[in-house]
Structure formats: structure tokens, C-alpha cells
Amino acid sequence: MANITNIAITTANSSADNTAQQIYQWLTELPTRSGKKLISGAFGGYSNIGGEDAFSLQQGNDIHTLTGKFPAIYAADYARGWDICPPGDEASLIDFSCNGTLIDHWKKGGLVAISHHLPNPVFAGNNPGTGEGALKHPISNDQFSQILLAGSPARQRWLAMLDKVAQGLQQLNALGITVLYRPLHEMNGEWFWWGASGQNSNDRVRIGLYQRLYRDMFSYFTNHKGLNNLLWIFSPDANRDYKTDYYPGDDCVDITGLDMYSDTPEHIAGYQEMLSLNKPFSFAEVGPATTNGQFDYGKLIATILQLYPKATLFIPWNNLWSPLKNINASAAYNNQHVINLGEVWNGSQLS
């Protein structure tokens, strides 16, 4: 990869490796281009589960068969926090066996994205009741604060989870693979344990606790684990308010984004609000609100390019939200401005 000097925007981690810094600089420059400027993506699934949502290359391969293009970014999720485990074994719900496939994708000139639906550290066994485990079990601010309290059982479970996640990220770090890393997403929504205490709640205590937890994660991975290959993404939900209120700070975020599930993407809120944070902007997770197979992905990309021109990437979710189960995927991935696999790296240089 060619050296890029005079990086205009620096990574949140001042010790980020050279490859991460170069990719970051490249991202900041994409919106100024007139040609290819929007990076395509796909979500490959959850690591080490069965069924349709299991991680594999199937999503990417099927998109390639349908459109003739393979997505430039391939995304995986290390954790399904709605599954049940025995008390003391919460970290077992985190799995990074997807790494081998991600490494191969990187070697082919692609980019790698990783997110998590992390188990709930408040509950031993991650099973307070129903089939959604503890991922969507609400916690009080007092319970949330226990995760940040040194020596507490919740803190011990949290650090065990982070240690397991870090093992996977360290495998990629050792190979110099940059990860577009999106933890604790959709925090302004009320459906995940780390999120808002109610629908469109302006709970300043909860917001402060979220910021502390994000910063805690950033510090642990950066300073304690030496992970210098991560570009950190902060992505609130487009359908809820208080998007930038949860922002944990310039010194621990590289990329902002929106998780956008909408049948009318031309009318979403929050684009200008996120741009005000002065970071590269992404559509970190996209799909329809109504899963009837009629969402037009070609129109989505045209809308992004026209109305949200600072966007650098889009990553559709899988299953019913996928381009494969909706319409006009080919128009999306073959748009003249979209960057697919084979168009990220030019030999050893970023295209």
C-alpha cells in the first residue's frame, strides 16, 4: 500500500497502525470524488450459529450471482446476545470463527466490518426470562452503573466478554487487517440493554452511562489490549431522536453513521445532525422497515448519492432485509458510483 502523508483527519487512536490510518484518510476523501465514491457492503451473518442467519460467504456469493458484483465490505457479528448460556459462561456467546473468511476477503482486496449483539453482563447466564435472552431485557440505570463498578459481578462478566471479543480482534490485528468496528449500536433506541431507558427518552443519566461504557470499551481495547487496527463507528438509529446526545467524544470515534430501516429513505432524519460531528459518515446498517420483498435497493443507492452525498458506505442487513429478498439489487451494486470488491485496492494502493 502506498504511503499517504499529511493525513488531514487523524484516527481516534493515535497509535492506529499505518494501514488503518491510510484507509481512514481514503474514507475522508471519498465524498469529494465525482466517480466511484460509495463503498458497497453486505452482512454475512452471526458467527457460529446454525440456520439462515449463520455467518458464511453465502450472502456475498448470492449477491455476486445476482448482480455480477461482490460487495467490497463483508460484515460479521461476533455475538448473539439473545441466546442462553449457563451462569459464569456468558463469554461463550461470543465467537470469532468467522475470522478465517474475513481474512480471505481482506486478501482479495476487500474491507472487513465487525459488530456485536453483546450478551447482557447484568444477568448471570444471560437468561432473565424469554427467548430473546437478555439482549433486549431492559436494565435500570443502577444496574447499568454496576457494569462500570470495579469488582462487581456485572463488571467481571463485562470484562470477560471484552477479553473474548479482543481475542478475535487480535487475530486480525496481528495480520494488519483493519476492522470497521461498530460496538453498542442503535443506543438511542430502547430495544438493546445498552440503549435508551424508554422510547425517545432524554434520560441524561442513561446517556452519560452509555458514553462511559463506550469510552470504557475503547480504552480497554486500545490501551489494555493494544488493538491498533480498529476504526470505531458510532451509529445511532435513524428512527429515534437524541442521536448526537449519546456521542462519546471525538477521541474515541472515527466514523459516524446511521442504522436506517425505512421504506422512504428520502425522508430520514439525522443526516445533518451526524455531519455536525465532523467525522466520515456511513450508513452502517440499512434495510426496509416493511419486509414484504418490495424494497428498491437501486432507488436507495440513488437516494443516498443524491440526498446524502457525504455518505462513504452502506451495509445492508441479511435475511428479509437483504438485497437478495428485495428488488433492484443489480441497480444498486452496479451503480456507476459504487465501489465493489476489486475496486478498493489497486495493487498495493487504495483505488
- CATH (domain of 330): 3.20.20.80
- What Rg value do the Cα atoms of the chain yield, rounded? 19
What pLDDT was estimated at residue 156?
A: 97
- In a domain, residue 155? The reply is yes
Show the cell assigned to 259. 442504522
Known active-site residue 285: yes
Q: What is the mean pLDDT of residues 266-282?
A: 97
Q: Do 211 and 52 touch, CB atoms closer than 8 A?
A: no
What pLDDT was estimated at residue 262?
A: 97
Please tell me which residue in 132, 186, 273, 343 is annotated as part of the active site. Answer: 186
Show the cell assigned to 312. 462513504
pLDDT at 4 over 80: no
User: 3-class SS at 314?
Assistant: strand
- In a domain, residue 1? The reply is no
Region of 126 (left: φ > 0; alpha: ψ -120 to 50; beta: rest) is: left
d(CA 258, CA 77): 17
pLDDT at 348 over 80: no
Stated pTM of the model = 0.96
Known active-site residue 190: no
What pLDDT was estimated at residue 128?
A: 81
- In a domain, residue 6? The reply is no
pLDDT at 130 over 70: no
Q: What is the mean pLDDT of residues 8-37?
A: 93
What pLDDT was estimated at residue 350?
A: 86
Domain that holds residue 336: 18-350
Q: What is the mean pLDDT of residues 335-351?
A: 90
d(CA 302, CA 24): 24
pLDDT tier at 131, thresholds 50, 70, 90: low
- In a domain, residue 3? The reply is no
- In a domain, residue 88? The reply is yes
What pLDDT was estimated at residue 347?
A: 66
The mean pLDDT value of the chain amounts to 94
- In a domain, residue 177? The reply is yes
How many domains is the chain partitioned into structurally? Answer: 1
- In a domain, residue 90? The reply is yes
Show the cell assigned to 230. 480498529
- In a domain, residue 4? The reply is no
Please tell me which residue in 29, 190, 285, 343 is annotated as part of the active site. Answer: 285
pLDDT tier at 48, thresholds 50, 70, 90: confident
CA atoms within 13 A on the CB side of 316: 29
User: How do residues 80-109 score in pLDDT, each as one tens digit?
Assistant: 898 989 999 999 999 999 999 999 999 999
d(CA 18, CA 123): 39
Q: Do 218 and 12 touch, CB atoms closer than 8 A?
A: yes
Query: Which of 107-111, 249-253, 298-302, 344-348 has the weakest average pLDDT?
Result: 344-348
d(CA 170, CA 226): 8
